[in-house]
Structure formats: structure tokens, C-alpha cells
Amino acid sequence: MNQDPKPFLKNLLSSLDASYHAPTQSFTNVEAYATQFGSGLKRSCAIIINGQPIIPSPTEDSKLQFQKKWLATPISSHQLTSYDGHLIPSTNMFIINFSAKVKFDQSGKNRLGESADLVQENTLVKNARPLWGSWFGVNVNLVVDNNFTAGGEIINSMDYRFTYVPKDTVLKV
């Protein structure tokens, strides 16, 4: 492997983990925020999450559907723990199998910092930090075009599977 896909994988994971209100990056609107999740995905990318495929509809391609759903998840934090990949001869594509651990914010807020509580008692807490839950285990398989340094939409398929779900999570998977 002459190119290291590591920066690419890290970028992918950090795009999934981006938060809406952050000192370092902020987004002008929700759309700009949502469309950066997995921006390396192709519009027609085959996406499978925990064995469930995302089926594109005539109005929404699979990437957009994925981004909409991901927007509704709590803030996440991925950590890459292992990866390996093969360049498949005569296709210019890599198959990458990587594993990561991921924790989610359990404060009850969504990615935009909103919670479903109608009575907001804790308005005093201004700079609420995420309350991280336990680590989940994830195994992900990607088919990626050869030119990952170029950026852009290069992921042909993504198969994201939780391999371990901690018992003390409030998140219903």
C-alpha cells in the first residue's frame, strides 16, 4: 500500500463526530452541518448500518438519507483502533476493514444541542459538555477509490456494524 488511508479514515470519523457548536468549527446552518457527515460518501454509496440497508428513494439518495439519520443521533466520539486494507488489482479500489470504538453523548440532547424536555430546568448550565457513555465496538468495511488523498466523494460502500453494545447505555440501538 503506497498511500496510507489513515488520514482519510480519521477524517471520515471526525466528520461523523463533528459538533454543531464548537469553539474550533461552527456551521452556519443545520444543512451545512448535516451535509458534512461522511462527506466522502458517494451519492449512490451502498450504505448498511447494523445489517439494515439504506434504500435510496427517487427524491433522496442514500447519502442524504444517511446524513439525515445521523443528524438525529447524539453526539458521538469515534476512536480508530485498527485498520487494514487491500488494493484490489485492476479496479483501483481499496477494501478497508477497520474497527473503532465509539461513545455517545448521554445527556439527552441531540446534535444541535436541543433536548426533548419541555420544562428546561437546567438552564443554568451554559456550556454543557457531552456526558459520554461507555464505549461501543464498531467494525466498518469500506470500498474506497484509490485516490484518497484527493478527497471528494470516493466511498463506494460503507457497512457499519456495532460489534459490541455496552449494557449501561441509555441509547436504544
Partner 1 sequence: FPFEAPQAMFFQDDEIRTLSTNFIASFLNLWDTNRVNLMVLYQNESQFSMQVDSSHPFLIDENNSSSNDYGNYLSNSRNLTRVSSAKSRLEKVAVGPEAIYKLFQQLPGTKHDISTKPEVFSMECYKFPVLNGILITIHGCFEETAQPEVTESHDTRGAARGNARFHSYNRPKKVALSKKSFDRTFLVIPGPNGNMIVASDLLLVRPFSNEVPWTQIPA
Residue 96 CA to residue 18 CA, distance in Å, equals 22
145 is a site residue for partner 1 (CB under 8 A): no
155 in the Ramachandran plot: left (φ > 0), alpha (ψ -120 to 50) or beta? beta
109 is a site residue for partner 1 (CB under 8 A): no
Sheet holding 52-53: strands in order across?
A: 52-53, 41-49, 155-164, 136-145, 93-104, 76-88
106 is a site residue for partner 1 (CB under 8 A): no
Q: Which of the ranges 20-28, 34-42, 119-127, 160-168 carries the binding residues for partner 1, by CB under 8 A? A: 160-168
95 is a site residue for partner 1 (CB under 8 A): yes
Copy the grid coordinates of residue 13.
Answer: 470519523
> Quick one: which H or E segment has residue 157?
strand 155-164
Question: Least distance (Å) from partner 1 to the CB of residue 126?
Answer: 27
73 is a site residue for partner 1 (CB under 8 A): yes
123 is a site residue for partner 1 (CB under 8 A): no
Residue 13 CA to residue 7 CA, distance in Å, equals 10
Instruction: Kindly list the residues in this chain that would bind partner 1 in the complex (CB under 8 A).
Output: 1-2, 4-6, 46, 48-53, 69, 72-73, 80-86, 88-91, 93, 95, 97, 99, 101, 134-137, 139, 141, 143, 157, 159, 161-167, 171-173
